[in-house]
Structure 1
Amino acid sequence: MPIPSTLIGIPASPGRAGGRVVRVAEPPGEPATGPAPADPAGEAARIEPAVELVSTRLTARAATVSGDAREVLEATVTMVGDPALLQNAQELVTERGRPAARAVWEAANGFAATLSSMGGYMAERARDISDVRDRIVAELLGLPAPGVADLDAPAVLVATDLAPADTAGLKPGVALALVTEQGGPTSHTAILARSLGIPAVVGCAGASTLTDGSAVIVDGATGEVGEVATLDEAVEAAAAAAVVTDWDGVGRTADGHVVPLLANVGDGPGAAKGAADGAEGVGLFRTELAFLSAAEEPSESRQREAYVAVLSAFAGKPVTARTLDAGADKPLPFLSLDGEPNPALGVRGLRIARDGSGGDGAGVLDRQLAGLAAAAKETGAELKVMAPMVATAEEARWFVERCRTHGIGRAGVMIEVPAAVLTADEIMREVDFVSVGTNDLAQYLFAADRQSGPLAALNDPWQPALLRLIGMLGEASERTGCPVGVCGEAAADPALASVLVGLGVASLSTGPGARAAVGAAIGGLTLAQCRERAAVARAAADPIDARRAVAALDG
C-alpha cells in the first residue's frame, strides 16, 4: 500500500509508522562576537560550570541505556570533558575578549575542523563536537537545550539532523519514527535507529516543511514520508502495513538454504546481548575498542581479558574478530604515524603492520593475534580472524601466514576497496573466507565520503553499482569455494538482505534490533526467489528503481 507521498528521502531503518509530528528543537545558532566582557576572568569562569552541567546530563542519560547507545553517549561525554576544549575556550575570553558562548563556539569549531580533515572514524566524531558545542552554548545563553525533549506521547520526530546523543536516548514506541533533512544511511542516527528498531528516513529534502502536530506516515524501507489528513488515518495506515515477525531464530530460506545471522559487537556487554538475542555467532567483533582509549598499547594479557569477555558469550560458536582497524584516521598514541593529506586513503587497517612508518605495527598485530588465540583456547569459541583494508592477494597471503604462526586456523580479509573485488579470485584462493564492509566499499566505489550529507545518496547500499560488485564476489565465491559474508549496515535491511543472499552472500551480520526482521524476510523466500530479487536490483538504474523492482515482486 503506497503512501500518499509528498517527500522522498534515503531509507535508513526499515519499518512503517504513523503519528503526529514533533519537531526537534534546533541548536541556538552562531553566537555574537561581542561585546567584549567587562570582566574577562569572570566571563571565562562561566564556561566550566556549563561544561560540567552538560556532562552530568549526558552521563545520566548514558546510565539509562546500553549497547551502541551507551557507547555513543559515553564517547560524547568524553568530548565534553576534553580539557583542551575548555582551556582554548577560556583563553579566547581572557586573551581575545570573546563572550563565553562565542569562545566555546570558536574553540569547538576548531576541534571539529581538525577531526573532519582526518576523514574516516575521526570525521564521524566531528558531529559529536558540534553537538557538545551547541549544548554548552545554549546553557551559557540561558536557552533551552537543543535536541529531543521528553515526549509526553508517541510521536514522529522531525529534525534538520539529530545528534548521536539524542538518537541514543530514544525509546521505541515513544519515538515512532525519525525523519531528518540531513544525514546518510551510515550516520550515527541511522545506525542507532536500526539497533533500536525505530523506522527512519534521512537526507529527506523538504522535511523542514512538516509542521508540529501534523499527521504523517513514514516508511523506513522505501524512504517515503507522506502527510495525511488525520492522526487516525496515519495510525491505521501504518498498522495495516505492519509486518508480524514470525521467525524461529535460525537463518535459512524457505527451502532450507542456510544463511547464518550473526551479531556485530564491540565489547563484552554487546556480545552478551547478542547471545541473549539468539545470534548464531559473531560476524564482526570490532577489536579496536580495546585500543582507542588507551594511551599505551594494552598488554597481551589485558587484550586477552577483553577478548575473553566477548568470546565467552559464544562458546562453541563462530566469532569473527577484525584486527585493529585504526591508523591515520583513528590516531593511536602508541603508533607514531605521520600526518597524511588524505588519511582515508592512507596507512590504516592492515597497512599499519605492513608499513614501516607505523613503528612497531607488525608487533602490535602479532600481540593482538596472540591475545585472540589465547582467548579462543580459554573460551572454546570458534575463532575466525580477518584483516581490514586489504587490497591485494599478496597482502592477504601475508596476513594468513601471520595468523597461522599463532595457531589461528581460519583467517580471512575484509573486502572494502574495489581492487579487492576485481582480484577476488586471487584473494579468495589465499584465505578461508571474506567479509564485505559495505559502508567503506560504497565510499571508495563512489569516491563519496560516507559522512558527507550532500553525497549521502551515493552511499545508499541499494546502489546498483555496489550490488554488482557484491554479485561479482558471489560469483568468485562459487568458483573458489570461499564463503562471502556481509557485516556492513546493508545486512540490517530485511528487503536488501534477501537480495544479498541472492547475490551469493553466505552469512549476514547485524545489530540486535534488525536480526528478527531479517530472519523473517529471508525465511519467507526460497533461494530462487532471492536470486530473482538480486537480478532485478542489480539491473536497476538507481537505488529507488532497485527498491521498487524488488517490492514489485511481492505484488
Structure 2
Amino acid sequence: MTPPQPLAGVPAGALAGIGVGSASAAGPVARMAAAPALPAPRPVADPAAETAAVRAALAAVVDDLHRRADRAAGPAADVLAAQAMIAADPVLAERAAESVAAGSDGPHAVTAAFDSFRTALEAAGGYFAERAADLDDLRDRAVARLLGLPSPGLPDPGHPYVLVADDLAPADTALLDPDKVLALVTVRGGPTSHTAILAKALGLPAVVGCAGAANLADGRPVLVLGAEGLVLADPAPVDVARAADEQRQRRSRAAGVRGPGRTADGHPVALLANLGALHELPGAAAADAEGVGLFRTEFLYLDRTEAPGADEQTAAYRAVFTAFTGRRVVVRTLDAGADKPLPFATAADEENPALGVRGLRTSVRDPQLLETQLAAIAAAARGSGADVRVMAPMVSLPAEAAAFAARVRAHGLPSAGVMVEVPAAALRAERIAQACDFLSIGTNDLAQYAFAADRTLGALAGLLDPWQPVLLDLVAAAAEGGAAAGAPVGVCGEAAADPALALVLVGLGVGSLSAAPSCLPEVRAALAGHTLADCRALAALARGAADAATARALVREALG
C-alpha cells in the first residue's frame, strides 16, 4: 500500500465537513432559492378576505406537495404525503384565522400558526423535535404564496450543478434528480441526517455539516470530495481530472468483482443489504448480496394509533423471506422510542426519550407487542426457505439478551441475536454473546451514547463521525467479546457503507457488513483488493489516531 500523490494546489482554505460516500464531483454552485423575507406588519382592512387568502395559500401548498408525491416513488412519495397532511391540518388554518381576527396580516398569521406547531414539536423531543424543522419549509412555501413570490426550493439553472443549501427539506430531497444534481453540500446536518441518507441511496457525493459552504456563491466552481469530506472552491484542473479518474477506476474495480465478500487472501466477510420497507424489497433482492443484515420492521408500526395485527405482520414478513429464499434475513424487532415514538408503545412524558424506554425495553411495558411480532415472524418463516434470524435493539445486559433469546426460541425460531448500541453492551460483549447466537453493532446509536451526542443535532455531527477512534475501540471490544464466546459479530450501521472504513471494521474482527444495496459493490471491491493482514494494519492505524479526521487521513494515505 503506497501513499497517494496529494491533490495539486489544494488551498489552505478548503471547506471541511462530514463526507458522505466515496464519490466526487465537480461543477458550478447553485444555491437553494431563499426563503421569503417576512415584510413589516400591515393593517388588515378585510379580515374575511385575508383569512380566505391564508386558507387558499395553505391549500395551494397542499396541492403542490400532492403533485410532487404523484411524481415521486417509494419513500419520497411517503415523505411528501406526510408533509401535505401537516399543511392540511385544520388546526393550523384555524390558528392562522384566529391571528387574522386579532389583527395580524396573512403572512404574519401563517408564521405565528406554524411557530406554535413548531414549539409544540420541539417540546415533545426526540422524533418530533427532529420533524420541527420541516415545518419551516411549509411555512416558507405558504408565506411565499401570500406574497406572490416563487416558492423556496431547488434551483433550475439549465445545466448540471452542485446543490448548496443550509439544509434540505423533505419536499426538496424527495425530488432530487441525479442527472441534474452532481453533488450535495449543506451547512447543517450530520452523518445520519436525511440528506446524508438520501445522498448515499442516490450514489451522490455529499459533504454535510460544512459551515463554510454558507459563503459559496452561485456559479462558483467547486470540487466535492465525499470520501475526504472536503469542498474545494475554484479547484485546479489537475485536481478535477485526478478526482474524476479515481472515480472511474473505483467504479471499474467495483464492477469487476461479484459474489460473496472475500478479502484478497480469501477471508470471508458476508455482505448484506439493509431493508427498511417493502417498496425497497425488489432492489434489495436483486442486489448482489448474501441476504439482509438489517430488516427494520418499524415501517409496519409508524403513523398508527394501534399496533398492526399478527396477520398483517405475517404477510409483510413472508414477502421478504420468500424474496430471499436460500439467503439470510436478520429481522430487528420493533425499535420504538427515542426518534420513533409510538402512542401504543412509548410514553409521551419522558424527559429524555433517547435514554428512556426504547427498543427491547418497550416489551417490559407491553410484553404482547413482542410476542405478537415473534409469532408473526415465526409463521412467515415456516416454509419460506430463508435463513431467518431475529435480533433485539437496545440491549444493555446479559440477562436481557438471555431473556430475549429464550422468547425467540420459544416461538420455534432457531437464531436469536442482539444489537450492540450502548457502551455497556460493547464492554460486556463476551457475556452477552454467551447468552445468544450473534451480535450486530449499530454504529449510529453506539456513537450517540459513547459521546453523549444527540444524533439528530447537526451541531454535534463531528462527534458522531464513525471514524472516531473511541468508537472503533468499542467495535473492537464487541468483536473480541463475540469471538471469545464463539458468536459472529457484524456491523449494520452507516459505517459499513464506507469502503475504507469497511476494511478497518474487518481488521477489528467484524465478520459481516450490512449497508444500502448501492454501497455494496465498492465495499466488495475494497475487500477483494486487500488481505486480512492489510485490514488489521489499517485498523491499528485508525485506532491509534488522535481523532476522526486523522484516522480517516491515515487510512486513506495507506490505501494509496
| Same fold by TM-score greater than 0.5 | yes
Give the deviation of 1:444 after TM superposition. Answer: 1.1
What secondary structure does 2:359 align onto?
coil
In 2, Cα distance between equivalents of 1:74 and 1:256: 47
Pairing partner for 1:248 from 240, 252, 258: 258
CA distance in 2, matches of 1:443, 1:75: 27
Partners of 1:463 and 1:110 in 2: how far apart?
Answer: 38
The residue number in structure 1 matching 2:32 is 24
Does the 8 Å CA contact 2:441/2:491 hold for their aligned counterparts?
yes
Change (3 A) 1:365 1:158: same
Note closer, same or farther for the CA distance 1:67–1:152 as it changes in structure 2 (3 Å cut): same
Residue among 57, 77, 81 paired with 1:50: 57
1:217–1:227 contact (8 Å) kept in structure 2: yes
User: Residue 341 of structure 2 is aligned with which of 325, 331, 350?
Assistant: 331
Q: Secondary structure at the match of 1:194?
A: helix
Cα distance in 2 for partners of 1:520, 1:339 equals: 48
1:380 aligns to 2:388 (yes or no): no
Which runs of structure 2 are paired with 1:231-246 in the superposition (5 Å)? Answer: 235-242=240-247, 243-244=250-251, 245-246=254-255
Provide the C-alpha distance between the structure 2 equivalents of 1:416 and 1:66, rounded to a whole number of angstroms.
32
- Can you list the C-alpha shifts for 1:104-140, whole angstroms capped at 9, x where unaligned? 3233233333333444333332232222222222222
Three-state SS of the structure 2 residue aligned to 1:206 is: helix
| SS of structure 2 residue aligned to 1:333 | coil
For residues 283-329 of structure 1, the C-alpha deviation after alignment (integer angstroms, 9 at most, x for no partner) is: 11111111112222221111112222322221221111111111365
The equivalent of 2:454 in structure 1 is 449
Preserved contact between residue 66 and residue 84 of structure 2 (Cα < 8 Å): yes
Of 100, 113, 123, the match for 2:106: 100
**What is the distance in 2 between the residues matched to 1:502 and 1:492?**
15
Rounded to whole Å, the distance in 2 between the matches of 1:522 and 1:269 is 29
Measure, in 1, the Cα distance between the counterparts of 2:42 and 2:121. 30
3-state SS of the aligned residue for 1:258? coil
Q: Distance in 2 between matches of 1:166 and 1:264?
A: 24
**Structure 1 residues 259 and 82, CA gap change in structure 2 (3 angstroms):** farther
Quote the residue 1:358 is aligned against. Answer: none
Q: Which residue of 2 aligns with 1:216?
A: 222
Partner of 2:546: 541
- SS at 2:412's partner residue? coil
- The corresponding residue for 1:113 is 119
Q: Deviations over 1:244-270 (max 9, x none)?
A: 223214322122222122111122221
**1:61 alignment counterpart:** 68
- Alpha carbons 1:20, 1:214 under 8 Å: kept: yes
SS at match of 2:343: coil
Residue segments in structure 1 that go unaligned for 5+ positions in a row: 356-360
| 1:166 is aligned to 2:167 | no
Aligned pairs for 1:415-454 (under 5 A) are 415-454=420-459
* Alpha-carbon distance change, 148 to 254 in structure 1, aligned in 2, over 3 angstroms: same
Name the counterpart of 2:331: 321
**What letter matches 1:352 in structure 2?**
T
Cα offset for 1:541? Answer: 0.6
- The 3 A distance-change label for structure 1 pair 531 and 173 is farther
- What is the letter of the counterpart of residue 16 of structure 1? S
- Cα distance in 2 for residues equivalent to 1:494 and 1:117: 39
Taking the aligned partners of 1:153 and 1:329, their CA distance within structure 2 comes to: 38
How many angstroms apart in 1 are the aligned matches of 2:242 and 2:105? 51
1:28-82 CA distances to partner (integer Å, 9 max, x unpaired)?
24x3573353333332222333233223333333344444444433433333333
Would the aligned equivalents of 1:34 and 1:98 in 2 still touch at CA under 8 Å?
yes
Whether the aligned pair in 1 keeps the contact of 2:294 and 2:332 (CA below 8 Å) is yes
Q: Structure 2 CA distance, aligned partners of 1:279 and 1:387?
A: 23
Which whole-Å CA distance do the structure 1 matches of 2:129 and 2:325 have between them?
36
The equivalent residue for 2:286 is: 276
Asked if 1:128 corresponds to 2:128, the answer is no
**1:14 offset after TM fit, Å?**
2.2
**Alpha-carbon distance between aligned partners in 1 of 2:528 and 2:290, rounded to the nearest angstrom:** 15
Tell me, in whole angstroms, the C-alpha distance in 2 between the residues paired with 1:78 and 1:309.
Answer: 29
Deviates more, 1:99-108 or 1:175-184: 99-108
Write out aligned runs for 1:186-205 (5 A). 186-205=192-211
SS in 1 for 2:382: helix
Counterpart pick for 2:87 among 59, 80, 89: 80
**What CA distance in whole angstroms lies between the structure 1 residues aligned with 2:319 and 2:105?**
48
Q: Which amino acid letter does the alignment assign opposite residue 332 of structure 1? A: L
AA aligned opposite 1:538: R
Equivalent of 2:481 in 468, 476, 483: 476
Q: Which of 5, 11, 17 is the aligned partner of 1:9?
A: 17
**Which residue number in structure 1 is paired with residue 534 of structure 2?**
529
Q: Using the alignment, how far apart are the partners of 2:235 and 2:492 within structure 1?
A: 41
Contact 2:124 2:348 in 1 (8 A): no
Aligned CA RMSD, in angstroms, stands at 2.1
More divergent stretch after superposition (57-66 vs 169-178): 57-66
Aligned residue number for residue 299 of structure 2: 289
1:265 to 275, 282, 296: 275
Q: CA deviation at 1:212?
A: 1.4
Identity of aligned residues (%): 52
Seen in structure 2, the aligned counterparts of structure 1 residues 340 and 177 have a Cα distance that, compared at 3 Å, is same
Indicate conservation of the 8 Å contact 1:19/1:234, yes or no. Answer: no
CA contact (8 A) 2:57 2:145 kept: yes
1:83, CA displacement in angstroms? 3.5
Return closer, same or farther for 1:278/1:140 CA change in 2, 3 Å cut-off: farther
Tell me which residue corresponds to 1:398: 403
Contact kept, 8 Å, 1:318 with 1:382, in 2: the verdict is yes
TM-score by length of 2: 0.92
Measure how far apart 1:510 and its partner are: 1.1
What number of residue pairs does the alignment pair up? 547
Aligned counterparts of 2:548 and 2:119: Cα–Cα separation in 1 = 32
Asked if structure 2 preserves the Cα contact closer than 8 Å seen for 1:494 and 1:521, the reply is: yes
Relative distance call for 1:118 and 1:312 in structure 2 (3 A) is farther
How many Å separate the matches in 2 of 1:346 and 1:237?
49
Q: Whole-Å Cα distance in 1 between the matches of residues 427 and 88 of structure 2?
A: 45
Letter in 2 for 1:354: V
The answer to whether the Cα contact below 8 Å between 2:7 and 2:239 also exists between their aligned partners in 1 is: no
8 Å Cα contact 2:420/2:478 also seen in 1:
no
Q: Which residue of 2 aligns with 1:89?
A: 96
Question: What is the DSSP-based 3-state SS (H/G/I as helix, E as strand, rest coil) of the residue aligned with 1:434?
Answer: strand
Which residue of 360, 364, 371 corresponds with 2:369? Answer: 364
Which shows bigger deviation, 187-196 or 261-270?
261-270
Question: SS at the partner of 1:540?
Answer: coil
Shift in Å at residue 162 of structure 1? 1.6
Match in the other structure for 2:315:
305
Letter aligned with residue 441 of structure 2: V
Q: Which residue of 2 aligns with 1:143?
A: 149
Using the alignment, how far apart are the partners of 1:326 and 1:529 within structure 2?
A: 39
Shift of 1:176: 1.0
C-alpha distance in 1, partners of 2:466/2:537?
18
Any conservation in 2 of the 1:14–1:194 contact (CA below 8 Å)?
no
Secondary structure class of the residue paired with 2:35: coil
Displacement of 1:141: 2.1
Normalising by structure 1, report the TM-score.
Answer: 0.93
Residue 472 of structure 2 corresponds to: 467
- Within the candidate set 503, 512, 527, 2:508 is matched to 503
1:469 Cα deviation (Å)? 0.6
Secondary structure in 1 matching 2:454: coil
